[in-house]
Amino acid sequence: MRNNSTVRLSELKLPEDLKKLTVPQCKALCREIRSILINTVSENGGHLASNLGTVELTMAIHRVFDSPKDKIIWDVGHQAYTHKLLTGRLDRFSTLRTESGISGFAKPSESEHDSFISGHSSNSISAACGIAKAMRLNGDDHNVIAVIGDGAFTGGMAYEGLNNAGKSDDNLIVILNDNEMSISKNVGAFAKYLSSIRGKKAYMDVKKNVAGVLDKTPIIGEPIKEVLLASKDTMRWLLYRSSGLVSGPTMFENLGFVYLGPVDGHDLESLEENLRAAKAAKKPVLIHVNTVKGKGYTPAENNPGAFHGVAPNAIKSGNPEIISSDSFSAVFGKELAKLAQSDRKICAITAAMKYGTGLNFFAEKFPDRFFDVGIAEQHAVTFAAGLAVSGMTPVFAVYSSFLQRAYDQLIHDAAISRTHIVLGIDRAGVVGEDGETHQGLFDVPMLTCIPNVTVFSPSDYDELRLCLRMAIYDTPSVAAVRYPRGAEVQGVHMELDRENMFCYEKHGGKVLAVCYGRTGLTAAQAVRENDLEADILKLVRIFPIERAVTDICMEYDRIIVFEESLKNGGIGEHLTSALEEKGYKGDIRINAMSGFVKQAKTESVLKRFRLDKDGITEIIKKIGI
């Protein structure tokens, strides 16, 4: 390949050919990659700012290491788009986040270059520990590289992994991608710690000078440089003591890591130099890399939060909404702020999702009662329990998928002692293009097997407001209000029985359709528009199963439960059990979801499981025969 000749991704065998390129050629490829990222995310939606910030870092990793022999693990994985482009997926990249297309996260079933599944935060170091140990036991001396953002270090699992890894002598490299952001601005003591060593010009100048002198030393310069860079004591003396930055070891060194950095995450030469040094160390190394979220696209650099995760076509205006005003999230946040005006005991908690959960409205009005605990759902639940036992009313707003991370805390720290905490469970049900790791299908089975838990599932904004009030003021112990992503269904209304918290609509039917959430409104549409002989019981307080619910069900010989959740452990199974205890002899069926649900538009997923209007109509007709 000619030096400095123009090359394009489509002309290369990737990732192998990257090592043959000059630095100017690589920089040109970085510009091409950014253009592809912007254009593709503009069409398909996805994570933009985080990927724009890791282009050079990803390029450097693939130039220094040999994937898939060297294992690269992406924490969360939403920043792995460049990795996908550099590992042979350019021709499919236009299918990003589409049905049957490539995932928006790292996925081993998609490519051998994706060493570990990703989607949630703070697990990469633990996975890297296990992979590195297995490789060592198998006589494989290749490297394992975990790329983790500073935001993920607000999650406790990252420290569990560091603590374990630092005691080993495995070929493990942790790259701390420090952009001062997760989705919102990072919070907590670790963020303050990083800020104390981030971007120290004296540090970078000393590092560059030491490396520069050694580069000019004939024959022995490069070997000495690698040894020095890989030597904790020498490097500390050269880069710390001589610059006067710190007087003692870093936190990472105290945990057993060689520490390199901070490194400019957009300087290819500096990145590759440090990666080669880490590779030569043959022991755990942490490289602290400073990057700019949204790098190369001015609107994203200026407002990285808005460009973190964007909807299709949303970035064409150059100013996408962080949170839509017409959404369950926004209504939840505004209603909570309204209630807090007259109730000073209400507190709001988020795990680094202030905007995504609508709590920005609360935070603006009551900053002293708003708590962003970082990506730390386990801590958030127990923190809420601590507030509750001290007389406060904590409301923890969290995505359904992320609530999974706090299961033990819900049981042990809240439910057993009937501690009154409120969960606002956002993105409940199908979420669409983010795929298996983000679907909100587990909260109902999780919560309904825990004693002392009440679960509400509103289907429109008015029901959401009422459920939130009831969860705060009329429900003991743990109260959960779950609601879907996006906006309410327009043009459909069902009259709510506020005493029993359900909607019961009779159509002279022989069949009873039991449902909840937005599926209930879809069922109502199906019955009304097709004159089906079916009655509808739409639950709003879905658990525990109330006597009024079973009394109605006992009047029907045929019951069908429609459920936008997993069948196993779902409301359908709980209702079946409750009816059996009452001696029900009729036919009850459940149409719900199963397995891990892959990425696709929400409408497509619901159609696949016959939870759309046509599917519900077809099922009711068959049962009613």
Q: State the catalytic residues.
A: 293, 377, 405
Contact predicate 198/290, CB 8 Å: yes
What are the DSSP E strand ranges found in 104-143?
none
CA torsion sign for 424, 427, 430, 434 is negative
What is the Cα–Cα distance from 609 to 328, expressed in whole angstroms?
Answer: 23
Region of residue 326 (phi > 0: left; psi between -120 and 50: alpha; otherwise: beta):
beta
What is the Cα–Cα distance from 372 to 177, expressed in whole angstroms?
Answer: 21
User: Judging by DSSP bridges, how do beta strands 71-74 and 346-350 pair with one another?
Assistant: unpaired
- End-to-end alpha-carbon separation of the chain, Å? 71
CA torsion sign for 13, 19, 24, 30 is positive
Give residue 108's identity as a one-letter amino acid code.
P
What are the b/e assignments for 416-449, b being 16+ CB within 10 Å? eeebbbbbbbbbbbbbbbbbbbbbbbbbbbbbbe
DSSP 451: T
Give residue 342's identity as a one-letter amino acid code.
S
What is the Cα–Cα distance from 11 to 470, expressed in whole angstroms?
Answer: 61
What is the Cα–Cα distance from 409 to 101, expressed in whole angstroms?
Answer: 36
Q: Which of 484, 449, 440 shows the shortest CA–CA distance to 596?
A: 440
Q: Which of 161, 74, 91, 98 shows the shortest CA–CA distance to 126?
A: 161
Residues with Cβ within 8 Å of residue 139, at least 6 apart in sequence:
none
User: Judging by DSSP bridges, how do beta strands 285-290 and 346-350 pair with one another?
Assistant: unpaired
What is the Cα–Cα distance from 451 to 410, expressed in whole angstroms?
Answer: 11
Task: Put the strands of the sheet holding 422-426 in their side by side order.
Answer: 370-372, 346-350, 393-399, 422-426, 478-482, 453-456, 541-543
DSSP 18: G
What is the Cα–Cα distance from 179 to 136, expressed in whole angstroms?
Answer: 32
Count helices and strands in the chain by DSSP H and E runs: 25, 19
What is the Cα–Cα distance from 621 to 625, expressed in whole angstroms?
Answer: 6
CA angle 455, 496, 527 (to 5 degrees): 100
Tokens of 109: 């079933």
Question: What are the φ and ψ backbone dihedral angles of 515, each rounded to 5 degrees?
Answer: -155, 175
CA angle 129, 599, 459 (to 5 degrees): 115
